[in-house]
Structure 1
Amino acid sequence: MERDTLTWLQEWYRSQCDGEWEHQNGIRIDTLDNPGWSVVADVGTVDAPAPVSEVRSGDDWVRCHVKDGRFHGHGGPGNLQELLEILRTWSRTSHG
């Protein structure tokens, strides 16, 4: 049985914490003023996934990419779970 996204995020974060990672790295979830969500997570080295850019409506959109070992995801006000699910999928390709 697959874990829900929030449980996965908590477990992923815990698995990254090794006494050093958490001092310089982390996960940041914030709001945007247009309105929307921002998710930034230090994922280390990942197989470079193709950036995602989907605009379905003014309030339903996502844009994600990885740069310098950091996941950057932005989305509409109802897209936080989708952003976290993209992070989840991309983190499965992590090597560091």
Structure 2
Amino acid sequence: MVTSQDVLLWIQDWYVRQCDDEWEHSYGVRIDTLDNPGWRVSIDLTSTALGNQSMIAVQTERTDNDWIHCLVIDKQFRGYGGPNNLSEILIVFQNFAQS
């Protein structure tokens, strides 16, 4: 089982591997909060090995505060989730990237 710490280290490493003196100037990883409350994660896939990959959307609704929606659209991974679901969103991205 992947832990929150594991996925955080993994996403840092993934980001560093994308940095090529060009990608990081136009693209990147963004983690923001939502006002309902929750998290929004946007990860640019352009000019990465994942740039042309598709992903089956993930939509899990457990409670008002325990949910995730993840998809790839316009060469961007987009993940949204409840206030305690940030690591789960990142794990969905990790699973996508490693598949």
If the length of structure 2 is used for normalisation, what is the TM-score? Answer: 0.87
**1:15 maps to what in 2?**
17
Q: Which of 58, 69, 89 is 1:83 aligned to?
A: 89
Alpha-carbon offset, residue 18 of structure 1: 0.2
If the length of structure 1 is used for normalisation, what is the TM-score? Answer: 0.89
CA distance in 2, matches of 1:47, 1:23: 22
Alpha-carbon offset, residue 62 of structure 1: 0.2
Correspondence 1:56 to 2:62: yes
How many positions carry a matched residue from both structures?
92
**2:44 maps to what in 1?**
42
- Consecutive unaligned residues in structure 1, runs of 5 or more: none
- Whichever residue aligns with residue 52 of structure 1, its letter is V
- Whichever residue aligns with residue 53 of structure 1, its letter is Q
Alpha-carbon offset, residue 91 of structure 1: 1.7
**1:10-59 alpha-carbon deviations (Å, 9 max, x no partner):** 10000000000000000000000000000000123243111111100010
Q: Is this contact kept in 2: 1:54–1:63, CA < 8 A?
A: yes
